[in-house]
Amino acid sequence: MSRTGKNKSSAHKLDDKQSERDTRELRIDKVGVRGLRFPIQVRDRARSVQNTVATIGMFVDLPMEFKGTHMSRFVEVLNAHGNVIHVENIGDILRELQKKLHAATSHLEIEFPYFMAKKSPVSRQESLMDYVARFDAAACGAEIDFVLTVKVNVTTLCPCSKAIAKYGAHNQRGEVTVALRFRKIIWIEDVIEMVEASASSELYALLKRQDEKAVTERAYENPVFVEDLVRNVALRLNAHPLVTWYKVEAENFESIHNHNAYACIEQAAAIPVKKP
């Protein structure tokens, strides 16, 4: 036998350990790859697409009779769908995972930095602000569930401190995390704007002195507790006609306490009442 023929014969005999039968009779809910870094293009409201880098997780269920899954197939599916990630093609990726890995369920998690150009309030100098966005999607048979999560940093000023202090009020940076389901696509920018409008002040990457004055005074004139913050965001989500469910979390990184303040609201969105 020639060397080439021998190599082909050996290749055909490679063991497929993952497909061997497992006798422990334990189904695995999710198995796959996590922490995969991948360049993607995400559609945005202003420029149609935005280039960024995502950290991706891809999973399927594994029936009790199989020993393992085929990890390389997850990356194959991802690369086969190109580098444009948006709500419309996530369903295709989930279905391809089910098909290629012979799974009843599939899961996809995509987290990435997201950038918005913002102008400072007085000098109008433009700079880029970064946020964190995340897609969590799952397919069970033909049904697909999708959750958009956005993390937004804001400024909060304590109403109690303002009421009792003679010389000012303590403020701090707060992180708001909004997860939501919706009937039709909601832009990441829309979520960011709802959160920033609910705080004492929004943040900027670039501020000149006149901008700092304006931001500080705006926060002082608009004090909010962490409880106010989540309620303000929730009211805006309740009024949004496309939102069906949300979870709003806010954490203030306190400037005068050695602990953080936290609040959370989770519920199906209220149906807006149409005025006659």
What tens digit of pLDDT does each residue of 95-154 get?
999 999 989 999 999 999 999 999 999 999 999 999 999 999 999 988 999 999 999 999
SS3 48: coil
Yes or no: domain 142-276 corresponds to CATH 3.40.50.620: no
Facing residues of 128 across strands?
117
Kindly report the backbone phi and psi dihedral angles of residue 181, in degrees, each rounded to the nearest multiple of 5, phi listed first: -110, 155
SS3 252: strand
Tell me the mean pLDDT in the region 223-235: 97
Q: How far apart are CA 95 and CA 103, in angstroms?
A: 9
pTM reported for the whole predicted model: 0.86
Strand pairing category for 143-157 and 171-182: antiparallel
pLDDT, mean over the chain: 89
Kindly report the backbone phi and psi dihedral angles of residue 68, in degrees, each rounded to the nearest multiple of 5, phi listed first: -160, 175
Q: How far apart are CA 87 and CA 70, in angstroms?
A: 26
Q: How far apart are CA 249 and CA 158, in angstroms?
A: 18
Which residues of 46-196 form beta strands (DSSP E)? Answer: 50-62, 84-85, 105-119, 126-140, 143-157, 171-182
Task: Judge whether 79 and 100 are in contact, CB under 8 Å.
Answer: no
Task: Judge whether 58 and 32 are in contact, CB under 8 Å.
Answer: yes
Tell me the mean pLDDT in the region 48-54: 89
* 14 pLDDT more than 50: yes
Q: Using 50, 70 and 90 to split pLDDT, how confident is the model at 276?
A: very low
Tokens representing residue 211 in the block: 């901008």
Please report, for the chain, the start and end positions of each structural domain, with discontinuous segments joined by +. 25-110, 142-276
